[in-house]
Chain A
Amino acid sequence: MRVRAESDDPVGDRGTGRRIVGHLVLALTSLACLFPIYWLYATSLRAPGDVYSLSPVPWPLSLEHYREAIAKTDMVRMLVNTAVIAVLTALGQLLTGLLAAYAFAAWRFRFERLLHLAFVGTWLVPFQVTMLPNYVLLSELGLLNTLAGVIVPSLVSALGVLMLRQHLMSFPKELLEAARMDGRGSWNILWTVVVPTLRPVLAALGILLVITAWNEYFWPAMVMQRSNGVVQLGLRSFMGTEGNDWGPLMAASGMTCLPVFALYLFLQRHIVNAFVRSGLK
């Protein structure tokens, strides 16, 4: 029996002044966050002679820098490789994370605290600490220089498990109890009761994991032997060789970020809608 609140904002006292202050603070924060990104694309779109110009609007526009960057690197193949890695990694992490978080939320069991600490504990292990043994293991499995070698070691994300656990802990227990009373199995409850309510969280987390995997740098660098198999490595070698040739460098950086921006803009609407809807329930 839950009261349907109109919104999380209590009724009354809708000061316009407060709202204006809110807008102002948010606008300034957004501006500070966006400027470097804007500058990256502005520089990349300037005509070759105008790179050092500080005019806020790049004019005349030119794609010359992009042409140059593509001519010098294997951009398309790198983007495809990186996309495959990112999507498969994120899906694996969502699935393992969901199952583990569900176990923590729906049962009390022996060693619960210890196992929870085992997940938190992965954060205590800097990547560099386990790098060598992992590298040896990968080479024994014959996964070096393969995309699978990048994906398999990262099929569980402690962040994913802990974030889902946080959300599931506040999941109304009476719903789980009621479903159990109906004699439904735990697997059925997970997919018919828990997952539908978690959808906004899963979507947000999924996007986060895709982006993390896309932007991952050191693990691919090790597995792919510094071949330019993924876009991060290609960009790094470009940075090294092209030194201060800012135009093409900004174009290559821009192309590296573009797919992620596109994904985010496309799914952002869905996520926001989901968040808003869940706020109204």
Chain B
Amino acid sequence: MARPRTAAAVPAARPARWRRVCRAAPPYLYLAPALTMLVVWTYQPLAQTVELSFHSWNLLPTSPMREVGTANYERLLTTPDMGASVWRTVLVILGLLPFTVVVPVVVALLSRRVKGRAGAAYRAMVFAPMLVAPVAGAAVWQWLLDPGSGAVNSVLGTRINWLHESGPAQLAIIVITGWHIVGFAVLVVSAGLTGINPEYAAAAQVDGASRWQILRWITLPMLSPTVMFLVLMTVLLSAQWTFPLIDTLTQGGPAESTTTVYYLLWDYGFHSYDAGLGAAAGVLFFLGFVLVAAVLVWLSDRLSHSDD
């Protein structure tokens, strides 16, 4: 990709520097609206949160913020909740990957084989749960999982009190979240597949490649940026997807078994009214996420060169 050559003839009378600025300006101008919003609503507040993490404040506008140095961080690292909730979050992410990567790729590839209207209809059906509002989803699953008269126990012939036992509650949160997002992932993979130039496959076929070889050596490698995108999304957004469900269904219980880091953070800020501790926890999660994402972005950049 070369720098665009501006075809418009620029009068030679203008100073060269002005010309350079004019030529360099367009991409920044196009980015300006989005970047302004990012700075105002994400990055500036993030900086304020970092500042807040070194203070003690109970969220009341009338009470002053006290400077406490690193006391919040020390308290955070000495509580056992922290390590346990990080571990639970990792479990949730691993549990979600089949729903966000494996199933969508299989379904998208198969629905490509299923021609025309039928394929579109299947995709539409799989996508449907994505349309269900988290609170509505929580309500219907609460009803399905009702220990006494819910459909799940009736069908399985079990008497499990799903949302009030640790193991089943964790499983329920993962499955419900997976049910919500699997359709979106299918749509992303399908879009990725339509973006692949069919001429590669056609050319390979002329050279006598089998279906399987085309899938293995052309389609899947060209789909790898899409897959990386989905993995990245799962890691970074799983906490946000599970949060409304945890908040409405289990409130982090039973016995803290569904308290993910994200829920813990919210708990610090809005149940314990400890803004400083919540901010410190937020800063630590942010740093952890940066580390994970840096690795994934580096990987996806390595992979996305396959199409050049």
Interface positions of A (Cβ within 8 A of B): 2-3, 5, 7-13, 18-19, 21-23, 25-27, 29-30, 32-34, 36-37, 39-40, 43, 52, 54, 95-97, 99-100, 102-104, 106-110, 112, 115, 117-134, 137, 153-156, 161-163, 166-167, 170, 173, 176-177, 180-183, 185-186, 201, 204, 208, 211, 214-215, 217-218, 231-232, 235-236, 239, 244, 246, 249-250, 252-254, 256-257, 260-261, 264, 268, 272, 275-276, 278-279
Contacts and interface: CB of A to CB of B under 8 A. Distances in A.
B288 to A, nearest CB: 9
Given A9-B113, A128-B265, A278 B202 contact: no
B158 interface: no
B286 A125 contact: yes
Contacts of B43: 118, 121
Nearest to B149: A52
Contact of B199 (A3, A117, A153): A3
Interface residues of B, number: 116
A150 B198 CA distance: 43
A235 B137 CA distance: 11
Contact of B225 (A115, A166, A239): A166
Contacts of B229: 162, 166
Contact of A36 (B4, B129, B146, B188): B129
B244 A173 contact: no
Nearest to B190: A275
Which of A129, A250, A261 gathers most chain B CB within 10 Å? A129
Contacts of B226: 166
A281 to B, nearest CB: 10
Nearest to A127: B240
B285 A54 contact: no
Interface string B113-147: 11110111011111111111111111111111010
A249 B143 contact: yes
Contacts of B137: 36
Contact of B30 (A39, A100, A120, A128): A100
Given A13-B211, A128-B282, A256 B111 contact: no
Contacts of A36: 129, 132, 137, 140-141, 144, 179
A170 B275 CA distance: 45
Interface stretch (B10-18, B44-52, B78-86): B44-52
Contacts of B198: 5, 7-8, 279
Contact of A246 (B143, B214, B225, B248): B143
A89 to B, nearest CB: 12
Contact of B136 (A25, A119, A246, A253): A253
B30 A102 contact: yes
Contacts, number: 310
A95 B131 CA distance: 23
A33 B7 contact: no
Contacts of B70: none
A95 B32 CA distance: 12
B137 to A, nearest CB: 7
A10 B110 contact: no
A122 B38 contact: yes
A130 B33 contact: no
Contacts of A103: 26-28, 30-31
B293 A124 contact: yes
Nearest to A130: B45
Contacts of A3: 199, 202
B275 A126 contact: no
B59 interface: yes
Interface string B253-293: 00000000010011001000001001100110110011001
A26 B202 contact: no
Contacts of B42: 121-122, 125, 130
A167 B192 CA distance: 8
Given A52-B149, A100-B31, A137-B45, A40 B136 contact: yes
Contacts of A43: 143
B202 A156 contact: no
B140 A250 contact: yes
A132 B215 CA distance: 49
B140 A99 contact: no
Given A100-B30, A132-B59, A253-B136, A180 B45 contact: no
Given A5-B198, A123-B236, A132-B59, A25 B110 contact: yes
B24 interface: yes
Contacts of A126: 239-240, 262, 265, 282, 285-286, 289
Nearest to B138: A239
A10 B151 contact: no
22 contacts: A5-B202, A25-B107, A26-B114, A29-B107, A33-B129, A36-B137, A39-B144, A40-B143, A99-B33, A103-B27, A112-B27, A122-B38, A126-B282, A129-B286, A132-B49, A154-B41, A208-B187, A236-B135, A249-B139, A250-B140, A264-B127, A275-B194
